[in-house]
Structures are given as structure tokens and as C-alpha cells.
Amino acid sequence: MSKELVMTPKNEEKLTQIFQVLFSLDELVLTNEMNAQSIQGWDSLNHIKLMLQIESAFNISFSNDDIAQNLNVGDLKVLIDKKLS
């Protein structure tokens, strides 16, 4: 996935809050390289919960292919921006 990051600070904050609550990591600061290996608790089920919460928070809809991808945080931001544009 290309990495043309244009996510607004407001959306960045919204995404960070989703991660902080879902993974119970109050102090988490997201970096684009973070992924399922580096964030404790980012397993298959929590990945689905994460995508559902992002759908709801950003009022977007993910496809099966979106769900199946191995995404890091940077990829996720690009995907969200793409859905919002």
C-alpha cells in the first residue's frame, strides 16, 4: 500500500483513541511502523474489533479484502484516508 499520508491531526487523534481504548494502552503514541507484532493484543479478533470501531468512528465501510490485509498503522491511515476521500 502506498504511504501518501494526509491524515488530519483530528483524525490522527481519533485513531489513536481507538487504539488506546481497544488495547488498553492509555499512553500509546502511534507511529506508522507499528503493527500486530509490536502492539500487545493486536490479534485476529482484536483486528476485527479495531476495523469495526474505525468504521463506526469514521463512518466508512471496509471490504473483505481490507480486513484480510496485513496492515501496519501507516497502511491503516492511508486506507482510512482513501475511504474518506
Partner 1 sequence: MSNLDLLTQQIVHAYPIHEKFITQSVASLDTSELNDAELYIKHCLTHGLTLNQLAAAYVKIIQDVNAEQFYFMRNGTYRYSTFSEVANQVYFDPSYMRVYMYALALSGFFWPNHREIYRFFNSILPRSSKGHYLEIGPGHGFFLKEALLKADYTQYTGLDISPTSLDITRSLLQDTTIGVPSHNWDLIECDFLKSNNLHEHYDAIIMGEVLEHVEDPAAFLNRIYALAHSESFIYITTCLNSPAVDHIYLYETPLQLEKQIQSAGLTIVNSLYVAYTGKSLDESVQEKLPINVAFQLSKS
- Binding residues for partner 1 restricted to 33-52, rule: CB under 8 A: 35-37, 42-45, 47-49, 51-52
* 53 touches 60 (CB < 8 A): no
Q: How many CB atoms lie within 10 A of CB 77?
A: 22
70 near partner 1, rule: CB under 8 A: yes
Q: Is 24 in the site for partner 1 (CB under 8 A)?
A: no
Catalog residues that contact partner 1 under the rule CB under 8 A. Answer: 35-37, 42-45, 47-49, 51-52, 55, 62, 64, 67-68, 70
